[in-house]
Amino acid sequence: MALKIVYPVCCGIDVHKTFVVACIASTNSSGITTYKRHRFSTFTKGLQELSQWLCKNDCKDVCMESTGKYWIPVFNILEHSCNITLAHPKYVKAIRGKKTDKKDAQWIADLFKHDLVAGSFMPPLPIRQLRDLMRYRFKLTNFSSSEKNRLQNSLTVSNIQLGNVVSDTFGKSSMNIINKLLNNPLDTSFDIEPLIHGSMKNKLPELQLAIEGAITPEQAGKIMVIKKHYENLEARKADLEAIILSLAGSYSEEITLILTVPSFKNIFSAIAVIAEIGVNMDVFPTSKHLCSWAGLTPTNNESAGKKKSVRISRAGCYIKPLLVQCATAVVKSEKHPEIRNRYLQLKKRRGHKRAIIAIARMLLTAIYHILKSKEPYNPDLYKKSDVRPVRHEITIEQAIRLAQAQGYRILEFAT
């Protein structure tokens, strides 16, 4: 049986840095497909010519692969005039040895006309802009953390052991001491008491011992550069956060709902979730589709009746770490027994790492239903699901395995 033609007129686009190759596949009522190919520049003028060429040939359905960042200008130009399906390169890759730019474009068109290409999730433009800003904020946070670690390493090399006494080396009192040391690295006999505040005064003898190091002029210069870079990063991060908050103002209702989820206390955590998955949950048929898109579900890998590795995928490289971080925090709290009890049950059987992924999936499932129904988090829904049915029957073999899993040794008695 022949494959059904879903898109009689469609276009496959092979995207490169300086040019794109487009191939329009037109299928008539007899099932015969004819192809038109053309190469366009990736300058704005060339992409506008591509849009006009598609309109001239009455082609509204377009499929292209997501090559690096090069697909974004093409998407921006064609978004308003065409229905674009963005495909992962691994799903539209041609056979090795039979690859040219023209054949790649035709191969994409052939796959797409039969609706054999799975399109990537593309949120609307405001969400994409918010996503771009939040991902840049994530990078700035990583840079700041790196600079903090470098400063701490420089202090350790100089045998300044402030990190062993204070909880935060970058706290107000600690930074006062560091600034004093940098003013004159060879003088460590100054009075610390005027520089510290609050409960730090109880640690005065330990602080005096902690600064008895030897900061060389070279290390002092390095620390000053690191410190200025860190302060500049924090200032730029604050500027970026102001832009993010102004852009996220239109999603205040959804942000408020997400903040009701356990361990979501920071507004930027809620904004990061919205930036990745959007606010319209109708694009995901079920919560399982969303969890799979975020890389939080085991993969299917079975052949000849044997199940192979079912590790989670690499998808969701931005939202997955955030959910794992939130899951790690909430399982330590007694305020949410419905989550902690679920974690402890899974940890016995599957270990800590798999249990944390399961809790992260649980949080994302809750967020999906919260955004879909526009209702705050309800812990009772999870408490009811943890309760075993009153009349629950198991076999003797299942009871033995359950007891062995709890560490009991089964003794056999002769009847």
- pLDDT for 350 beyond 90: no
The rounded percent of the chain whose pLDDT value lies above 70 is 96
Q: CB within 8 A of 318, min separation 6: which ones?
A: 134, 135, 138, 272, 276
Give the tens place of pLDDT for each residue, 102-118. Answer: 888 999 999 999 989 88
- pLDDT for 195 beyond 70: yes
Q: What is the pTM of this model?
A: 0.83
- pLDDT for 415 beyond 60: no
Q: Looking at residues 235-240, what average pLDDT do you find?
A: 96
Sequence-separated contacts (24+) of 84-89 with Cβ below 8 Å: 84/122, 85/61, 85/112, 85/117, 85/119, 86/119, 86/120, 86/122, 87/63, 87/117, 87/118, 87/119, 87/120, 88/118, 88/120, 89/65
Q: Looking at residues 107-131, what average pLDDT do you find?
A: 90
Which among 41, 77, 83 has a CA at the least distance from the CA of 58?
83
pLDDT of residue 15: 92
Mode of pairing for the β-strands spanning 33-41 and 19-27:
antiparallel
Cα–Cα distance, 168 to 129 (Å, whole number): 34
Q: Looking at residues 57-70, what average pLDDT do you find?
A: 89
Q: Which of 6-10, 98-102, 401-405 is the most confident on average?
A: 6-10
Which among 160, 158, 192 has a CA at the least distance from the CA of 177?
192
Q: How many CB atoms lie within 10 A of CB 95?
A: 8
pLDDT of residue 368: 93
Q: Looking at residues 80-95, what average pLDDT do you find?
A: 85
Instruction: Read off the DSSP letter of residue 44.
Output: H
Q: Looking at residues 118-135, what average pLDDT do you find?
A: 91
Give the tens place of pLDDT for each residue, 173-188. Answer: 888 888 888 888 777 7
Instruction: Dump the DSSP string for 4-30.
Output: P-S-SEEEEEEE-SSEEEEEEEEE-TT
Q: Looking at residues 140-154, what average pLDDT do you find?
A: 93
Asked whether the beta carbons of 223 and 178 are under 8 A apart, the reply is yes
Least-confidence region, from 92-96, 160-164, 215-219: 92-96
Cα–Cα distance, 54 to 42 (Å, whole number): 15
**Is the pLDDT higher at 337 or at 323?**
323
Q: Looking at residues 188-217, what average pLDDT do you find?
A: 80
pLDDT of residue 142: 94
Give the tens place of pLDDT for each residue, 359-412. Answer: 999 999 999 999 999 999 988 777 654 445 556 677 888 888 878 877 788 877
Round the average pLDDT of the chain to a whole number and report it.
87
